[in-house]
Structure 1
Amino acid sequence: MTTDQRTTARRTGPAPGGAAPADLGALLTGATARFPGHGVRYGSAERPLDFRLQTYPELLEEARRLLARLRRAGAGRDRIVALLLERPEDFLPALWACLLGGITVCPLVPLRGDPQRWAAQLGHVDTLLDGPLLVTDARTREELPAVRGLSVLTLEDLPPAGPGAGTGTEADAAPDTGPASPDDVALLVLTSGSTSASKAVRLTHGNLLASMAAKAAVQDLTPDDVTLNWISYDHVAALLEAHLLPLSVGAVQLQTTPETVLAAPLRFLELIDAHRVTMTFTPNFLLGRLNGIVDDLPAGTALDLSCLRHVVSGGEANPVATGTGFLDRLAPYGLRRAALWPAFGMTETCAGSIYNREFPEADLGAEFAAVGRPVDGLGVRIAAEDTGAPLGDGAVGEVQLTGPMVTDGYWNDKEATEAAFTADGWFRTGDLGRLDDGRLTLVGRSKDSVIVNGVNHYSHDLEAVLDGLEGIEKSFVAAFPTRPAGSDTEQLTVAFAAVPEVAADERALHRLLIAVRNSVVLHWGFRPALLLPLPRDAFPKTSLGKIPRALMRRRLEAGDYAEHVEAVRALVTRQLGGYVAPEGARERALAELYGELFETDPETISATASFFDLGGTSLDILRLKSLIGRRFPGAEPPVLAILTSPSVRELAARIEADARDVPVPYDPVVPLQTGGDGTPLFCVHPGVGEVLVFVNLAKYFAHERPFYALRARGFNPGEEPFASFDEMARTYADAVRARQPHGPYAIAGYSFGAAVAFEVAKILEEAGERVDFLGSFNLPPHIKYRMDELDFVETAVNLAMFLDLVSEERAKALPAELRPLERREQLGRLLGLASPDRLAELDLDLERFTAWAELADGLTGLGRSYEPSGDVARMSVFYAVPLRGGKQEWLDRELSRWADFTREAPRYLDVPGEHYTLMGPRHVAAFQSILRAELARALADPSDDR
């Protein structure tokens, strides 16, 4: 069936709400003419209850000015504009500028904290959308990862509009001026999934106008309504349900940022009360959080929710217990019994298109609420999964939809478009459901995905990552959702088969569990609720070799895997040293914080279990630091305290010592992983002096060998930085021998640290010890020339880039901009370019950043005097893409010179990634595998002549 035939099939029947405008621009001009005093009120996390009004006429005027500026910058109907604008007051005028000009828009959000995934997303978008113009703001521009060929403009840098722009006159006209047609694509909205595989859903002006008319009719919205949105604009419900819909009827709308509510969920209710909100949208997970918070509200809390007519809740299944609990708890505050509407919609259906207005009475006794009845114009049918034949009432099958609000497919993806529609033009949702007298209930998904907190993640995406992990049987990995009784959102289960030698070795199996968990966290950003190692014969497979994940879910929830679940729990408890109950109020409070951080029962947190063994990542250290600061005001520990005191018991003692102002002596050795009988690995810090970069790598060595990181002196009050390169190397050598009195030794250094590791190895060998493994992570022996290039400004900029405060691309131009300034101004300007969220994560202010930059500059100064001499027995050189030039040239001209300083020919190992990313989330699993194999080879060599 052709696209035109499909479009015609969906438009059968009368348009909802009667005749509609031809394009979306008419919605804004209509609201401006009829309701000039209404508009958008903008809020922010910084001032959560203080909103600024922009009337619809003011929004129209600003949008017209921006349209003229975009056209002067080369934007037009022949080029998509991708909007990377987080503040609602930036995004909405830019959105309307494009819609008024007939320009197709694709909303994006930043992926801070993971530059590699962000770069992959931007590269994919650039290719998929045929080289769009990316419009962002100046601050976000500083953070953008480098993507070759990506065209970027900031709002601040757009050329001026010229006289008369924004007035609606001919002054800002252009050859492509004029209303869009109903079939023109207005929005491209990316689906969830991996950054390199997401699809772009085509939503035309006609789709959106039909959807708005149908929604408004069902929701009874009028100009007297006040709506609230806190969801980011890459979510289709935020853009349509919570912006276009209220605008289409002239209602007043509140728009704020996600942080406003996520940082303090009760604020959702406070905003409704303060601004007399009548309609809003939220995923179900927030309802669950609010239930717990409302239980703890003090008696007499002033909160009036009688204004709220309805809350649309979609994006994930709605448990009846969660919904009724929400209504019951808030009834004393005036919330009406029928205020919660479970709903169903997809990006492909212009968000909400099926609403359950009969909740909760029609759903009592069920586990999950029905999603309700479709809006006018939307056809729903249930079809057999195997034959596609339509099914009658009560039968379970695939939910299929048709109607004018349903997309005609995916941009630049013919294969995905064809797969999404039946031969007669119905859209295949991938969800399983049944119809009872026209009322739809979802019972599962035929497509394989996991929805956590309203976000869709595709199973095959994660399985491809885990399938490559050492120790896992190829093609025996299944990622699928489960929902324990009483849970407000789905949770992730990962089942896998371990290779026989790992399955038979409890410590090796535990190490693999840690590696799987770590890979999930780094790839998807949250922890799996259950890791389930199973024998191969426990995996059902189809004749084509596919694992039916839905069947595995049913078996798990039926208790078929209960014995395996208990075995894993017992194994983990044993490997963590058994359970030791926390003692005293401080230890119990910390156990509660660990439980909150790791989303587990605090009663299972042993007082002696390491933060890292429990699954803590480098980002979790910063989150824990913040949690402790809130729980124990004035006692927020430094990062080093968590690194060196990772258990509940040790950390409680450290907080107690800090409260008594007991000085902590400097020890360069930070134990990141202490289990295992193998030769310990000591890793020397890079040029910034800190060791957080090793945290995620160390996890892969659990039960195999201890992993110690060497941290520079000078971070803590009263510590004097090293005065010479030799003092640093000898201090580290002494610290290594204090931990491990005799060899054979295993030592490595990352970047600057490789030269230090070389000197430490020389000292140990001079003392008659064996150094069987010496690793250089992407650094040649001669560093003086590089250190000479780094003045204080370059060093500070490199530190900022290392900490993800500025992007690599922006860092190239910064030194020249900063050198004319005074030092404090230089560092202040650098911090000013960083995301406030990132600064909060790192607990960085100007004073701390200045101290860190000066310490890093001191290390750079030591490197300027460094000349390698002498030799060591051997070295393994791990090489990645260098800071400048090509990889092969880097190997041939620089890294190969280690041969001048080793008695055996060095071994060169190619590792994925670039200098700053080789141990980052995208590459750490591959890097650790190569490193562990090389360590095993070097330390197992039986030669007696060492």
Structure 2
Amino acid sequence: MTIRPVSAGIQHAGNLLETAARQAGEHGVRFLSADPAPGERGREQTYPELLGQALRLLGALREAGVVPGRAVALLLEDAEALLPALWACLLGGHPVCPLAAVTGDPERWAAQLTHVAGLLDGPLLITDERTRGTLPDVPGLAVTAIEDLGRVADPIDPAAVRPHPSTRADTALLMLTSGSTGASKAVELTHGNLLASLAAKAEARSLTAADTTLNWISYDHVGALLETHMLSVRAGARQLQVPPAALLTDPLRFLELIDAHRVTSTFAPNFLLGLINKALDQPDRARDLDLSCLRHIITGGEANPVATGVTFLDRLAPYGLRRDVLWPAFGMTETCAGSIYHREFPRADLGAEFAAVGRPVTGMEVRIAAGDGDAAAEPGALGEVQVRGPMVTRGYRNNPEATAAALTDDGWFRTGDLGRLDEGRLSLVGRSKDCVIVNGVNYFSHDLETVLDEVEGVARSFVAAFPTRPRGSDTEQLVVAFAPAPGTASDDNALYRTLVAVRNSVVLHWGFRPALLLPLPEEAFPKTSLGKIQRSLMRRRLEEGAYDDHRKSTEELITRQLGGHVAPEGPTERLLAELYAELFETDPESISATAGFFDLGGTSLDTLRLKNLVEQRLPGTELPLISLFTAPTVRDLAARIEGTRDAGQSGYDPVVPLQTSGTGTPLFCIHPGGGEVLVFVNLAKYFVHERPFYALRARGFDGTAEPFGSWEEMTRCYTEAIRRRQPHGPYAVAGYSFGAAAAFEVAKQLEAEGERVDFVGSFDLSPHIVGMDRFDHAETAANLAMFLGLISRQQLDGLPERLRPLPKEEQHALILDISDARRVTELDVDLEKLTSWMDLAHSLTELARVHRPSGRVGSVTVLYATPLHGSKDEWLHKHLRKWDDFTRGENTYAEVPGEHHTMLDPQHIGAFQAVLRAELNRALSEG
């Protein structure tokens, strides 16, 4: 089967899908799940089906009054929903802008959407019903759900919907550059840019309808849109689509999918090649693979170390992988992704540290600018890489200043990369712009520095984020240097808390941890006369060893704070230390058996990778993700795996030690209404070497014990468990929401036993657990889903009413269906686990329903946030201040940021812990 070449008569990108539907009707896109089983075939949508659905959606847009030329933003994580909407826009004359949600930070998300609304002149935002419920209200941004459009589109005859006659000069795509706080630019790519780029790519890669491609990149990335999906449509090739998590949690699945589906062409940044190389150390994992089908892997987005690529080719040669399969490449959003391919790897790069990126496709010109000017440099000279051609953007939407800065007077685009040309072959040697490339994605330094400048313990205007690349590393690594605020550097505990806060802020903002945190004195930050930190000079000094003493002292501080180094013992501990080291890219000998996974910098994605690694390396082991929270050290996790601390063998103990160092009075925090203690994990990190932090977890999670039958049974159990850990006072007890009422009862019991309780904390609960009369199973399930982050606050509204008519299991299935897929994966829940959790939460609700507070304690410290219902002032004066009726002394009421259900979330935890620690120190010193 062949598809005729795209002719000059084709005027817009939408014609490509029409051609594929007509000439390659049995081909299309196959969608796999995030955890595809061996042999899974997935769901297939042929090109005629995709075209029909796109035209119906276009008809629905027209019925809604969306006129050609109006931009449409697509916030659709599910590729099966996004692709028809994408083609509806391309066929309908709507410039289309794929978006990625900003998770975990509502304020930043609102700022991004506000920026997009202005940048795109009031676009229509298409999302799904679940996400629509989470969106902030942004002026100038109209929102519709893809499900609503689908209902309108269903009866529409696609044959009656005529595509808009867009021209090659019309804008087709608006792709946002990196920069998540309003600094992002919208790259304009016209229909002509796309057609020229796709034609050149297809020629360079000889892609035809006989090919099968694999994409695992999200569609807010230009590489996913053009390098795989649209290029495959142009060729009429079969496509395989799999979510990113499927490969990032199990890199060898990349090879297994290539074999199972006979993939001929795909994309893999160098960091994925490195992960695969490491994963291939597992015995027998690749023994049945046949990779002879693969013709090329495009690898770009970051520099490609020759050693990584050669190792990949060498390791997989026994499985039929061709020696010339890897094509290092160069491209940008502004050049319609890959536009320069290196088809001579590895033979042309032997002896070099990094591979060249090759020669431009037909129509693309490359030159090296001499010095700081725009004149062409001499052959072989080093300078800025500049490009031009029909696939290069004409500029940025509504940003003439950025457009003027990017284009030379004679029409060349300034890439910001430094390189040289050797006999027409381009090699990159650095960048002239301030950014970090990690795992193939560009991150701008100033974007992160603005956030870190506000972290407690950091001196203002003395933060620098810059890259480094240790020799042999598969990707660049992020370094964050900062000057500690006055008084912080001399206090080990304060400096460690600042290191934790900086690391947590980086993870929250960019989604990965820095490889190196470097506290430096202010004089170590070289600045220009205008006060700009010279990051490139700091990088050079770091790599020359100028900061080695500071680096060593920081490592020693962290080791001390984590309890010193304890060598792993036994095969399970040693294996886990190796896996921790693999995840954190460090020496296994540096991993202490007593250092916590999250104290070492583990993220939620790391937990999924660790779970997979453990289950692969220890066949027959099933590791619930909760184990990583409740047994985070190598020693504890090894014991959990070996069964020596299994709850079924040792009996139920509600106390979960989240942090055990420090000589201060231990803090015991009781779970909220869901019964789980995950919400306290990040909070506990701030008490290292200050005071132990214990959380109390409800009974009934492990399936070996029934939930508590009465309020008295629960609080008596908690009191006894606390006394086993700490036989005598003074005590500090607190609880979040539901847990605050339990903490009050525990404090009363301790006092009744003659013990001193110096701190009783209520995290946003009045003494009366208000509103319990309306909490039936549906209300409990819906609220628990919100507190777990499965659904948003907006989705909660009206959800109990939708649930009540359904049988219990169908209620839980509906909740799972509308839940955030990432959060479902993070919590490792399925319908059975969710049902068990909901049942436990409902049993706690039943206890709360009949609870009536009585008696008094010395005092209560109340930390309060914006309530779920009503105003903060009403919540404080009408409900929270009723604590005054249950204490002998004066209470403290301290406001913290966030809402009732988000006050302990990552974006607020820094402020929350500062208030809590201050109140604890005050109350306990008074005692």
Q: TM-score, normalization: structure 1?
A: 0.89
Q: 2:167 aligns with which of 181, 200, 215?
A: 181
Deviation at 1:179, TM superposition (A): 0.9
Q: Which amino acid aligns with 1:30?
A: T
Q: Which whole-Å CA distance do the structure 2 matches of 1:635 and 1:275 have between them?
A: 29
| Mapping for residues 918-933 of structure 1, pairs under 5 Å | 918-933=903-918
| Mapping for residues 369-408 of structure 1, pairs under 5 Å | 369-383=355-369, 386=372, 390-408=376-394
Q: Residue 653 of structure 1 aligns with which residue?
A: 639
Q: Which amino acid aligns with 1:671?
A: P
Q: Residue 539 of structure 2 aligns with which residue?
A: 553
Q: Which whole-Å CA distance do the structure 1 matches of 2:298 and 2:614 have between them?
A: 35
Q: Which whole-Å CA distance do the structure 1 matches of 2:611 and 2:213 have between them?
A: 36
Q: Helix, strand or coil: the match of 2:421? A: strand
Deviation at 1:699, TM superposition (A): 0.6
Preserved CA contact (<8 Å) 1:508 1:703: no
Q: Which whole-Å CA distance do the structure 1 matches of 2:897 and 2:823 have between them?
A: 26
Question: Structure 1 residues 731 and 147, CA, compared in 2 at 3 Å: closer, same or farther?
Answer: farther
Deviation at 1:337, TM superposition (A): 3.3
Q: Residue 36 of structure 2 aligns with which residue?
A: 46
Q: Which amino acid aligns with 1:859?
A: L
Q: Residue 4 of structure 1 aligns with which residue?
A: none
Q: 2:150 aligns with which of 127, 144, 158?
A: 158
Q: Helix, strand or coil: the match of 1:916? A: coil
For residues 880-923 of structure 1, give each alpha carbon's deviation from its aligned partner in whole angstroms, at most 9, with x where no partner exists. Answer: 22101232333333333333444454333222211111111211
Deviation at 1:480, TM superposition (A): 1.5
For residues 656-683 of structure 1, give each alpha carbon's deviation from its aligned partner in whole angstroms, at most 9, with x where no partner exists. Answer: 3459986223333222111122222222
Preserved CA contact (<8 Å) 2:127 2:143: no
Q: Does 1:747 align with 2:733?
A: yes
Question: Structure 1 residues 110 and 279, CA, compared in 2 at 3 Å: closer, same or farther?
Answer: same
Q: Helix, strand or coil: the match of 1:546? A: coil
Preserved CA contact (<8 Å) 1:749 1:755: yes
Question: Structure 1 residues 231 and 548, CA, compared in 2 at 3 Å: closer, same or farther?
Answer: same
Q: Which whole-Å CA distance do the structure 1 matches of 2:627 and 2:244 have between them?
A: 31
For residues 405-427 of structure 1, give each alpha carbon's deviation from its aligned partner in whole angstroms, at most 9, with x where no partner exists. Answer: 22233334444444434455443
Q: Which has the higher contact order (CA 8 A, sep 6+)?
A: 1
Deviation at 1:508, TM superposition (A): 3.5
Deviation at 1:530, TM superposition (A): 1.7
Q: Which whole-Å CA distance do the structure 1 matches of 2:286 and 2:810 have between them?
A: 49
Q: Residue 788 of structure 1 aligns with which residue?
A: 773
Q: Which whole-Å CA distance do the structure 1 matches of 2:671 and 2:284 have between them?
A: 49
Question: Structure 1 residues 320 and 760, CA, compared in 2 at 3 Å: closer, same or farther?
Answer: same
Report how many aligned residue pairs link the two structures: 919
Q: Which whole-Å CA distance do the structure 2 matches of 1:294 and 1:682 have between them?
A: 44
Question: Structure 1 residues 420 and 876, CA, compared in 2 at 3 Å: closer, same or farther?
Answer: farther
Preserved CA contact (<8 Å) 1:49 1:271: no
Preserved CA contact (<8 Å) 1:370 1:439: yes
Question: Structure 1 residues 733 and 301, CA, compared in 2 at 3 Å: closer, same or farther?
Answer: closer
Preserved CA contact (<8 Å) 2:68 2:164: no
Question: Structure 1 residues 628 and 361, CA, compared in 2 at 3 Å: closer, same or farther?
Answer: closer
Q: 1:363 aligns with which of 343, 349, 352?
A: 349
Q: Which whole-Å CA distance do the structure 2 matches of 1:211 and 1:256 have between them?
A: 24
Identity of aligned residues (%): 64
| Mapping for residues 490-889 of structure 1, pairs under 5 Å | 490-616=476-602, 624=610, 627-636=613-622, 642-657=628-643, 663-767=649-753, 769-783=755-769, 785-834=770-819, 838-889=823-874
Q: Helix, strand or coil: the match of 2:813? A: helix
Q: Which moved more, 1:798-807 or 1:213-222?
A: 213-222
Q: Which whole-Å CA distance do the structure 2 matches of 1:681 and 1:603 have between them?
A: 33
Q: Which whole-Å CA distance do the structure 1 matches of 2:851 and 2:777 have between them?
A: 18
Q: Which amino acid aligns with 2:19?
A: G
Question: Structure 1 residues 678 and 326, CA, compared in 2 at 3 Å: closer, same or farther?
Answer: same
Q: Which amino acid aligns with 1:831?
A: L
Deviation at 1:73, TM superposition (A): 3.4
Q: Which amino acid aligns with 2:521?
A: P
Deviation at 1:254, TM superposition (A): 3.6
Q: Helix, strand or coil: the match of 2:501? A: helix
Question: Structure 1 residues 212 and 624, CA, compared in 2 at 3 Å: closer, same or farther?
Answer: closer
Preserved CA contact (<8 Å) 1:612 1:672: no
Preserved CA contact (<8 Å) 1:751 1:777: yes
For residues 113-168 of structure 1, give each alpha carbon's deviation from its aligned partner in whole angstroms, at most 9, with x where no partner exists. Answer: 77776666556545544443333456x5488456567613124653444777211x
Q: Which whole-Å CA distance do the structure 2 matches of 1:650 and 1:36 have between them?
A: 56
Preserved CA contact (<8 Å) 1:123 1:150: no
Q: Which moved more, 1:610-619 or 1:923-932?
A: 610-619
Q: 2:55 aligns with which of 56, 64, 80?
A: 64
**RMSD between aligned alpha carbons?**
3.3
Preserved CA contact (<8 Å) 2:249 2:605: no
Q: Which whole-Å CA distance do the structure 2 matches of 1:921 and 1:150 have between them?
A: 29
For residues 256-303 of structure 1, give each alpha carbon's deviation from its aligned partner in whole angstroms, at most 9, with x where no partner exists. Answer: 433444444334334444554443222112222333345656599454
Preserved CA contact (<8 Å) 2:104 2:907: no
Q: Does 1:480 align with 2:480?
A: no
Q: Which moved more, 1:925-934 or 1:487-496?
A: 925-934
Q: Which amino acid aligns with 1:821?
A: L
Q: Which amino acid aligns with 1:62?
A: Q
Preserved CA contact (<8 Å) 2:211 2:263: yes
Preserved CA contact (<8 Å) 1:522 1:922: yes
Q: Residue 450 of structure 2 aligns with which residue?
A: 464
Q: Which whole-Å CA distance do the structure 1 matches of 2:291 and 2:629 have between them?
A: 46
Q: Residue 23 of structure 1 aligns with which residue?
A: 12
Q: Residue 100 of structure 1 aligns with which residue?
A: 91
Q: Helix, strand or coil: the match of 1:588? A: helix
Q: Which whole-Å CA distance do the structure 2 matches of 1:622 and 1:256 have between them?
A: 17
Deviation at 1:90, TM superposition (A): 3.3
Q: Which whole-Å CA distance do the structure 2 matches of 1:446 and 1:940 have between them?
A: 54
Q: Which amino acid aligns with 1:919?
A: L
Q: Which whole-Å CA distance do the structure 1 matches of 2:697 and 2:85 have between them?
A: 47
Q: Which whole-Å CA distance do the structure 2 matches of 1:716 and 1:437 have between them?
A: 66
Q: Helix, strand or coil: the match of 2:650? A: coil
Q: Which whole-Å CA distance do the structure 1 matches of 2:46 and 2:611 have between them?
A: 42
Q: Residue 896 of structure 1 aligns with which residue?
A: 881
Question: Structure 1 residues 606 and 409, CA, compared in 2 at 3 Å: closer, same or farther?
Answer: same
Question: Structure 1 residues 825 and 648, CA, compared in 2 at 3 Å: closer, same or farther?
Answer: same
Q: Which amino acid aligns with 1:816?
A: E
Q: Which whole-Å CA distance do the structure 1 matches of 2:911 and 2:625 have between them?
A: 27
Q: Which moved more, 1:476-485 or 1:732-741?
A: 732-741
Q: Residue 79 of structure 1 aligns with which residue?
A: 70
Deviation at 1:344, TM superposition (A): 0.8
Q: Does 1:135 align with 2:126?
A: yes
Q: Which whole-Å CA distance do the structure 2 matches of 1:436 and 1:279 have between them?
A: 28
Q: Which moved more, 1:374-383 or 1:622-631?
A: 622-631
Q: 1:258 aligns with which of 244, 258, 276?
A: 244
Question: Structure 1 residues 862 and 130, CA, compared in 2 at 3 Å: closer, same or farther?
Answer: farther
Q: 1:242 aligns with which of 217, 224, 228?
A: 228
Q: Residue 12 of structure 1 aligns with which residue?
A: none
Q: Helix, strand or coil: the match of 2:443? A: strand
Q: Which whole-Å CA distance do the structure 1 matches of 2:6 and 2:59 have between them?
A: 33
Q: Helix, strand or coil: the match of 1:820? A: coil
Preserved CA contact (<8 Å) 1:643 1:671: no
Deviation at 1:612, TM superposition (A): 4.3
For residues 491-518 of structure 1, give each alpha carbon's deviation from its aligned partner in whole angstroms, at most 9, with x where no partner exists. Answer: 1222222235332233443333333223
Q: TM-score, normalization: structure 2?
A: 0.91
Q: Helix, strand or coil: the match of 2:747? A: helix
Question: Structure 1 residues 578 and 394, CA, compared in 2 at 3 Å: closer, same or farther?
Answer: same
Identify unmatched segments of 5+ residues in structure 1.
1-15
Q: Which amino acid aligns with 1:134?
A: L
Q: Helix, strand or coil: the match of 1:202? A: strand
Deviation at 1:835, TM superposition (A): 5.0
Deviation at 1:847, TM superposition (A): 3.6
Q: Residue 195 of structure 2 aligns with which residue?
A: 209
Deviation at 1:452, TM superposition (A): 1.7
Q: Which amino acid aligns with 1:798?
A: N
Q: Which whole-Å CA distance do the structure 2 matches of 1:641 and 1:314 have between them?
A: 37
Question: Structure 1 residues 683 and 130, CA, compared in 2 at 3 Å: closer, same or farther?
Answer: farther
